[in-house]
Structure 1
Amino acid sequence: MASKPSYVYKLVPSSSPIPLDISELPLRLPISTLDQESGFIHLSTSVQVLNTLKWFFTEEKTVYVLRLPYDKLEEEDKALRWEDPKAEVCGPRGGEGMFPHLYNGLKLGRDEVDSVRLLERDAGGWDKPIEDAINEGWLVY
């Protein structure tokens, strides 16, 4: 995955409700404990979203997915870095096991998000909701 993605995605548990209408998003959304402790916002590419859901959202029935335009984040003074999940190793964009991490003072809100979608896990898990989001052209690389 050497090419630049169009979007990266932030997964938010349904216990932290997010408005689906982006005009109602605040300038700064609440930041998860994990992101606060890490010092950056954990993001995923479209290809990584399914496994991120399977590994880290095992107890969730619904998850908010925020779509962020990649170019806009990349312009922010190199605030976007490609690292392993613990930010111990930097690597090339889209390299195996490398995730986009946003280092912008933990700001995520209306200015960064272009769309919000609520995914609901079905009896088969997350595969079908992800397939639907891809087929509808919402979840794209």
Structure 2
Amino acid sequence: MNMTSTYPTYIYKIIPSVAKPPSPLPEVLPVSDLDQRDGFVHCSTSKQLLGTLNAFFSNESHVYILRIKYEQVAPYIKWEDAVGKQPEEIGGCWDTEGKAGFFPHIYNGLKVGKEEVDDVGEWRKGSEGWSGEDWCWGEVDRPI
């Protein structure tokens, strides 16, 4: 990937409300059907989160967010776009036109757990839908 700026401090994995991560986190968390199918862990930057939530989690009242320090997983990240791919295709995404840029995908044998996750937050959808106003980490990397 040809990035014109620095890499993010954090990337994020969205977990549906029915799959609350245990505390303490295990070595390896269960992966989603989508991650299992595609062979990598789908993540988003803070700027991509709202699009991902609106596309795949619109019926959820809340989700859990795994905050992952980029430097912790950097050797396993591939920045990929989904231009021309529909969500149901391998590597597909809600952003079929590439407007949200490249997405960080973790290729490490589907391992995300206590070593990779910096923090777990709960994000509640507001009365107007998903918004950065309800972000679980205050001003830190607030989605826009």
Structure with bigger helix share is: 1
TM-aligned CA distance change 1:105 to 1:57, over 3 Å: same
Matched, 1:126 2:120: no
The CA RMSD over aligned residues, in Å, is: 2.2
**SS, match of residue 67 in structure 1:** strand
Choose between structure 1 and 2 for higher RCO, CA contacts under 8 A separated by at least 6 residues.
1
1:84 to 81, 84, 106: 81
Matches of 1:49 and 1:41 in 2, distance apart?
Answer: 15
Q: What is the percentage of aligned positions where both structures have the same residue? A: 43
1:102 to 85, 106, 130: 106
Deviation >4 Å, runs of 4+: none
Please report how far the alpha carbon of residue 140 of structure 1 lies from its aligned counterpart in structure 2 after TM superposition: 5.2
User: Which residue is equivalent to 2:56?
Assistant: 56
2:119 to 110, 115, 121: 115
Letter of the structure 2 residue corresponding to residue 45 of structure 1: T
TM-aligned CA distance change 1:61 to 1:132, over 3 Å: closer
CA contact (8 A) 2:65 2:121 kept: yes
Please report how far the alpha carbon of residue 135 of structure 1 lies from its aligned counterpart in structure 2 after TM superposition: 7.3
Q: How many residues align?
A: 127
User: Which residue is equivalent to 1:92?
Assistant: none
Matches of 1:104 and 1:139 in 2, distance apart?
Answer: 25
Unaligned runs of 5+ in 1: 89-94
User: Which residue is equivalent to 1:30?
Assistant: 30
Give the alignment's TM-score, normalised by structure 1: 0.81
Give the alignment's TM-score, normalised by structure 2: 0.79
Please report how far the alpha carbon of residue 134 of structure 1 lies from its aligned counterpart in structure 2 after TM superposition: 7.6
Please report how far the alpha carbon of residue 125 of structure 1 lies from its aligned counterpart in structure 2 after TM superposition: 0.5
